[in-house]
Amino acid sequence: MSSSEVDSRVACKYGADCYQKNSLHHEKYKHPEKKKRSSEEACAKNASKLKIEVSNVPEEFKEEFNTSNLNDDVRSWLKKIYSFEMPEDFYSFFEFTKSLTKSCELPVLGLHLVGPYDLLMGHILRCTKAEAHMHYRYYYDPPEFQTILKVDSPPQLHFGYFRDDPNEMPAFVGSNDSEKDCTIKIVAGNIFGAVNTILDNQLKIANPFMKMKVKTIQTALQKWSSKHGFTLDTVTPAMRSRKGKVMTKTFHGAGLVVPYNKKTEVGYRELAENDATLKKILKEIVDTTRPGQRSPIWTKLQPVITFANIANDECDFGASLELGIDLFCFGNEIFHQTALHQLTTAYNLLGRNLYATIAQLHLANRKKSSDPSVLT
């Protein structure tokens, strides 16, 4: 059809997003031309996603890794990149998904393996340690949380390993919907249990046709986990043991665990204000927008900060960590600098230096509108 002729075809209701490839459909319906993006634009977009602030972090976080030879020794490579070991269920679940589909994606639920799995699947060929730790780090993810799964809907719902200490294996798999708030829900003891729970929930709402698909995959998952010795329990003995060590829930609700001597009562002390009062103070600071009126309200927070700093001097490092996590979870950038100071101080005193660097990277690049996929 020449440019001078009038296109009498009916406009397709799906517009440029139409999925139809049938030529008869395109003869009958017209579609707007899709804008072609130049290679320069594509490169610019990719480059912008790869730019993260990495100043003032250890040089090792700027070192670039070539992940194309991960298959030579996967476990050693991942430990070099992340500075901690991945648990056995992480690798076994990857093998399980490969047994279902070559793409390593679960063919229901819009459930996707992300984060460190992107390295295993060859989606990322080069990355620095800093980029690896920022890849799929959502707005409210504390340093203890490492995303490994995401779903299509809700778009910000994701699942990850939660480690109290980077030198330990994950305590549990939790979930967070960063579009809602900072809450971390404890889901299961490992990734098999977490996905089994997701499938249980899907069965409650799926149509009959989808239920068959979900049930098929759940049966396969249950057989695999049983054969390889992975529990599907949502509460495990290790999780019960950890519950007894939690000193406080913190704003995210998953709890804070630090070394604590019950006899000497050294290691943790409560903050100068309870959660409800602290949230009220923080909200008052954020809501005050008139010039000159915010400083007096900050004075209400200062005793809490001073008290936490004194606690550090007396080896109660948990207080400073709690305050840092709470300020981080409250989410407003007004508190980023104070949160970072409390977090880095506490993490370093606790020997969790890796978390101090992750907090620094995250707060330097933290934006609610950011795509959590730093590497694509």
d(CA 56, CA 360): 9
- pTM attached to this predicted model: 0.85
For residue 284, the tally of other CB atoms under 10 A from its CB is 14
- Per the CB < 8 A criterion, the answer to whether 120 and 158 are in contact is no
Chunked into runs of 10 residues, the chain (376 residues) has average pLDDT values of: 53 51 56 45 36 85 83 86 97 93 67 92 90 96 97 92 98 97 98 96 89 92 97 96 97 98 96 97 92 86 97 98 98 96 98 98 88 78
For residue 112, the tally of other CB atoms under 10 A from its CB is 18
Alpha helices for the chain (secondary structure H): 23-28, 39-50, 74-82, 88-100, 116-120, 129-134, 191-205, 208-228, 237-243, 275-287, 294-313, 317-330, 336-349, 353-364
pLDDT of residue 259: 97
Transcribe 301-313 into DSSP letters.
Answer: HHHHHHHHHHHHH
pLDDT of residue 46: 35
pLDDT of residue 39: 33
Residues 133-137: contacts with CB under 8 Å, at least 24 apart: 133/61, 133/82, 133/357, 133/358, 133/361, 134/52, 134/361, 134/362, 134/365, 134/374, 135/372, 135/373, 135/374, 135/375, 136/372, 136/373, 136/374, 137/358, 137/362, 137/372, 137/374
HEC per residue, 93-124: HHHHHHHHCCCCCECCCCEEECCHHHHHCCCC
Q: Where are the domains of the chain?
A: 39-240, 261-364
pLDDT of residue 21: 45
pLDDT of residue 376: 60
- Per the CB < 8 A criterion, the answer to whether 161 and 190 are in contact is no
pLDDT of residue 295: 86
Catalytic residue among 60, 95, 265, 314: 314
144 is catalytic: no
Residue 354 in 3-state DSSP? Answer: helix
Residue 154 neighbours by CB under 8 Å, 6+ apart: 177, 179
Percentages of the chain per state (helix, strand, coil), in multiples of 5? 50, 10, 40
Q: Which of 150, 50, 167, 147 is nearest to 106 (CA)?
A: 150
